[in-house]
Chain A
Amino acid sequence: MISRELQKGVLKPLILKVLNENGRMYGYEITQKVQVLTQGKIKLSYGALYPILHKLEKDGTLQTESATVNNRTRVYYHITPNGKSVVKEKIEELEEFINTIQILLKPNLGLDTCI
Chain B
Amino acid sequence: MHLTSEQISHIEALIDKAGINYSHLKEDLVDHLCCDVEQQMTQGLSFQAALEQVLIQCSLEHLFDLQKQTLLLTNKLYAIMKSIVKSFGVIVPIMITAGALFKNFHLPGASVLLTLGFLLLCFLLIPAVAIISYKELNDKKNLVLHVWTAVAAIFLCTGLIFKIMHWPGANYIMFASIVFLLLLIPVLLIEFRKRLRSNASLILAFTGIILLLTSILFKMFHWPGATIILAFSFIIIGFLTIPIYLVQANGAPQKVLLAVILAIYIPVFGIVSVHKLNYTFEGDYKSMHERLDQIKIPHDFTNGTKSFPKMDFTNNYNQILAEFDAIETKLKSKLKQGDHYYIHSQKDSMLISEMDLLHEHIASFYGELVNHANEEQILIVNQIKEQLRIEKPSYKPLLYIHVLDRLHLKRQQFVHLNQLIMNPKYAQS
Give the residues from 26 to 65 in chain B that come closer than 8 angstroms, CB to CB, to chain A. Answer: 27-32, 34-36, 58, 62-63, 65
Q: Is the CB of B25 within 8 A of A50?
A: yes
Give the residues from 50 to 109 in chain A that come closer than 8 angstroms, CB to CB, to chain B. Answer: 50-55, 58, 64, 66, 69-75
Query: Least Cβ distance of A17 to chain B in Å?
Result: 20
- Name the residue in A45, A51, A69 with the highest tally of chain B Cβ atoms < 10 Å from its Cβ: A51
A70: B residues at CB distance < 8 A:
2-3, 34
Q: Is the CB of B74 within 8 A of A73?
A: no
Once the chains are docked, how many angstroms separate the CA of A13 from the CA of B127?
37
Number of chain A residues close to chain B: CB under 8 A: 23
A66: B residues at CB distance < 8 A:
24, 27
Q: Does B70 contact A (CB under 8 A)?
A: yes
A69: B residues at CB distance < 8 A:
31
Query: Least Cβ distance of A79 to chain B in Å?
Result: 17
Q: Is the CB of A75 within 8 A of B62?
A: no
Complex: chain A residue closest to B4, CB-CB? A71
Complex: chain A residue closest to B31, CB-CB? A74
Once the chains are docked, how many angstroms separate the CA of A70 from the CA of B27?
13
Give the dominant DSSP class at B's interface: helix
Complex: chain A residue closest to B27, CB-CB? A73
* Cβ-neighbour of B58 out of A46, A52, A55, A75 (below 8 A): A46
Mask of B90-125 contacts with A, CB within 8 angstroms, 1/0: 000000000000000000000000000000000000
B28: A residues at CB distance < 8 A:
27, 50, 53, 75
Once the chains are docked, how many angstroms separate the CA of A51 from the CA of B69?
6
Query: Least Cβ distance of B257 to chain A in Å?
Result: 24
Q: Does A47 contact B (CB under 8 A)?
A: yes
* Cβ-neighbour of A45 out of B2, B22, B31, B58 (below 8 A): B58
Complex: chain A residue closest to B11, CB-CB? A72
Residues A54 and B65 in contact in the complex (CB < 8 Å), given A26-B31, A73-B27: no
Once the chains are docked, how many angstroms separate the CA of A49 from the CA of B36?
15
Q: Does B8 contact A (CB under 8 A)?
A: yes
Complex: chain B residue closest to A70, CB-CB? B2
B23: A residues at CB distance < 8 A:
54
Number of chain B residues close to chain A: CB under 8 A: 28
A75: B residues at CB distance < 8 A:
24, 27-28, 31
Residues A72 and B34 in contact in the complex (CB < 8 Å), given A50-B28, A55-B74, A66-B24: yes
Residues A51 and B3 in contact in the complex (CB < 8 Å), given A27-B28, A28-B32, A73-B30: no
* Cβ-neighbour of A27 out of B3, B32, B62, B72 (below 8 A): B32
Query: Least Cβ distance of A51 to chain B in Å?
Result: 4
Once the chains are docked, how many angstroms separate the CA of A70 from the CA of B34?
10
Mask of B1-17 contacts with A, CB within 8 angstroms, 1/0: 01111001000000000
Once the chains are docked, how many angstroms separate the CA of A74 from the CA of B28?
7
Complex: chain A residue closest to B72, CB-CB? A51
Q: Does B190 contact A (CB under 8 A)?
A: no
Q: Is the CB of B63 within 8 A of A51?
A: no
A27: B residues at CB distance < 8 A:
28, 31-32
B74: A residues at CB distance < 8 A:
51, 54-55, 58
Complex: chain A residue closest to B57, CB-CB? A45
Once the chains are docked, how many angstroms separate the CA of A75 from the CA of B24?
8
Q: Does B66 contact A (CB under 8 A)?
A: yes
Residues A50 and B66 in contact in the complex (CB < 8 Å), given A45-B58, A58-B74, A70-B2: yes
Leading 6 A-B pairs by shortest Cβ distance: A28-B35, A55-B73, A51-B69, A51-B70, A73-B27, A58-B74
Interface residue ranges, B against A (CB under 8 Å):
2-5, 8, 22-25, 27-32, 34-36, 58, 62-63, 65-66, 69-70, 72-74
Interchain residue pairs with CB less than 8 A apart (17): A26-B31, A28-B32, A31-B32, A45-B58, A46-B66, A47-B58, A47-B66, A50-B29, A52-B73, A54-B25, A55-B70, A70-B3, A70-B34, A71-B2, A71-B5, A73-B30, A75-B24
